[in-house]
Each structure stands twice: as structure tokens, then as C-alpha cells.
């Protein structure tokens, strides 16, 4: 029986000129369509995050070729380029929105003056994708690096964004994604206290039953991934990176205290 789930991390899906840096932030929409068709044709089971948690807890078996789709930041282009493809295949997905920047731009990307600063979805657009079956998760209030931040500020970022998005969407927001993959033990605790049931990271590897639900690893899909690279990440590249192994140990120690 399968014992792992590939949670895929996408950022922007759209039309881009080839780039050298930040390639994990972009996916060409034609490649995205091919990747989704590949999942559909080769019997991959695309699960929503609630189902991922149910399977990781052992309440349901993990199906073979289990995959989940996540999209960080809530880029407005998602509606044009990713949503129709997901709908065509009937695939569930989660979009992580930054509650303090709804309807604005991805201000945090200004750290790099050469980057294009894309638009983020408005409240109406988030509701539109929600009504199309996309799940909205939180990507905090202001997209900060949570690791090393005071516990109070972590709590504010996580609780405020949850409350704001829940008001805006009229449904519970229970899935979290740490911006930049930056988190520490306090952030995990703050996330649990705020009421999140899952949190995804940028730790690289497949999710397994031993994973802490608030520190789930993912596989980043990059601009450079052609179908061979995609297959490689899904089916072959399953060895956890050292940092993931360290975090699994640290969180297992924490849970057993």
C-alpha cells in the first residue's frame, strides 16, 4: 500500500518570459495544463487537504499515486490560467491568500527590485474561486518570515488572517501555509492554537503518516520542469531532504513531551 502523498507547491501559473532566478515561483500555463492532463491520464488521485489529513492520520488508506495541489499567495492570474484547467479535470486545490493584501499586489516581492509585482485576487475573486470548489487557506496577514518572530506577532499574523478570511468567505479557514517556508516551533504552536488543522512548508519531500500536520513537506514545481522533470518529482524523488528529516525528529520529540 502507498504510504506517501506528494503535495505539490505552485505559485504563479501564467505566461512568462524564461527566467534564471525564482524559477519555483512560476509555471507556464501550457505546461500546467500538460501536467494536469498527465495526472489525469496516469491514474493519479488528486486529494483535497482534508482528505490528505484523513489519510495521513490513518483513518483512510492512502491511495496509490496520491497528490494534492497547493497554490501560494493567491495571484489574480490563477482565475485565467489555472482554474479552468483544474475544473476541466475536476481536481481539488487549495489557494493560500494573504489576508492583508487581498485585492492588492504581492508587495513582499519588492525585496528584489527586478521582479514584476503581480496582482493578488480581490475578495470577490476569492469568493468566485471558492464557489468553484477551490479551498482558500491562509498565508498569514502580511507575508512575513515567521521564524524568530515574537510569539505575540506570530499569533497575530495567524489569528488575524484566519478571522479576516473567514469573515470574507463565510466559511472556516483551517489550512495554513508559512510564507517563504519560514517557521519554527513557536509558529507551529501558534498555528495550532489559532485553530489551523494543517500547515504546509517548503521542506522538500513527500508527506508521510509520521509528519506533523502543521509541518507538511511539499514538492515545488518549477518553471524548468518539463514532463520528465514532473514525473521525476512525483514518482522518483521521494527521499526526504536532511532538513525535513531534522524537522520530523524535532516535532516527534516535541509531541512526545
Site string for Zn ion, 197-226 (x = CB under 5 A): ------------------------------
Query: Which range in 72-80, 124-132, 207-215, 228-236 contacts Zn ion by CB under 5 A?
Result: 72-80
Q: How far apart are CA 99 and CA 67, in angstroms?
A: 26
**Total residues contacting Zn ion (rule CB under 5 A)?**
3
Nearer of residues 104 and 210 to Zn ion, judged by Cβ: 104
- Residue 195 C-alpha from the chain's centroid: 18
Which residues are within 8 A (CB) of 44 and not within 5 positions of it... i.e. 6 or more apart?
38, 65, 66, 67, 234
Nearer of residues 73 and 211 to Zn ion, judged by Cβ: 73
CA distances, 105 to each of 76, 93, 115, 117 (Å): 9, 22, 12, 6
By CB under 5 A, tell whether 191 contacts Zn ion. Answer: no
φ/ψ (deg, to 5) at 12: -85, 140
φ/ψ (deg, to 5) at 222: -105, 160
By CB under 5 A, tell whether 181 contacts Zn ion. Answer: no
- Residue 198 C-alpha from the chain's centroid: 10
Query: Which range in 59-67, 75-83, 124-132, 172-180 contacts Zn ion by CB under 5 A?
Result: 172-180
Looking up cell 495526472, which residue turns up? 39
CB of 149 to Zn ion, least distance (A): 16
By CB under 5 A, tell whether 179 contacts Zn ion. Answer: yes
Contact by Cβ (8 Å): 230, 42: no
Burial class of residue 79 in the structure, from the number of CB atoms within 10 Å of its CB (0-12 exposed, 13-18 middle, 19+ buried): middle
CB of 99 to Zn ion, least distance (A): 13
Nearer of residues 28 and 73 to Zn ion, judged by Cβ: 73
Query: Which range in 48-56, 66-74, 201-209, 227-235 contacts Zn ion by CB under 5 A?
Result: 66-74
Query: Which range in 46-54, 59-67, 167-175, 176-184 contacts Zn ion by CB under 5 A?
Result: 176-184
Exactly one of 72, 157, 174, 225 binds Zn ion (CB under 5 A); which one? 72
Exactly one of 44, 53, 68, 73 binds Zn ion (CB under 5 A); which one? 73
CB of 147 to Zn ion, least distance (A): 14
Spell out the SS3 assignment of 39-64. Answer: HHHCCCEECCHHHHHHHHHCCCCCCC
Write out the residues near Zn ion by the rule CB under 5 A. 72-73, 179
Amino acid at each position: 500500500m502507498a504510504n506517501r502523498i506528494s503535495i505539490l507547491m505552485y505559485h504563479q501559473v501564467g505566461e512568462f518570459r524564461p527566467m534564471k532566478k525564482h524559477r519555483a515561483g512560476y509555471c507556464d500555463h501550457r505546461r500546467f495544463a500538460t501536467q494536469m492532463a498527465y495526472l489525469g491520464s496516469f491514474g493519479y488521485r488528486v486529494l483535497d487537504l482534508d482528505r490528505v489529513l484523513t489519510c495521513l492520520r490513518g483513518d483512510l488508506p492512502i491511495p496509490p499515486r496520491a497528490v494534492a495541489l497547493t497554490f501560494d499567495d493567491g495571484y489574480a492570474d490563477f482565475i485565467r490560467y489555472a482554474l479552468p484547467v483544474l475544473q476541466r479535470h475536476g481536481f481539488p486545490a487549495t489557494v493560500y491568500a494573504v489576508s492583508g493584501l487581498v485585492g492588492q499586489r504581492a508587495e513582499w516581492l519588492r525585496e528584489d527590485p527586478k521582479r514584476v509585482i503581480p496582482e493578488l485576487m480581490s475578495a470577490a475573486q476569492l469568493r468566485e474561486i471558492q464557489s468553484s470548489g477551490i479551498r482558500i487557506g491562509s498565508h498569514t496577514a502580511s507575508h512575513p518570515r515567521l521564524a524568530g518572530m515574537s510569539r505575540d506577532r506570530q499569533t497575530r499574523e495567524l489569528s488575524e488572517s484566519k478571522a479576516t478570511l473567514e469573515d470574507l468567505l463565510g466559511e472556516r479557514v483551517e489550512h495554513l501555509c508559512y510564507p517563504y517556508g519560514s517557521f519554527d516551533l513557536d509558529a507551529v504552536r501558534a498555528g495550532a492554537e489559532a485553530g489551523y488543522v494543517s500547515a504546509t512548508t517548503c521542506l522538500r519531500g513527500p508527506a508521510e503518516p509520521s509528519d506533523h500536520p502543521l509541518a507538511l513537506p511539499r514538492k515545488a514545481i518549477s518553471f524548468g520542469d518539463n514532463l520528465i522533470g514532473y514525473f521525476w518529482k512525483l514518482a522518483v524523488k521521494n527521499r526526504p531532504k536532511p532538513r525535513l528529516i531534522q524537522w520530523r525528529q524535532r516535532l516527534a520529540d516535541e509531541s512526545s513531551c
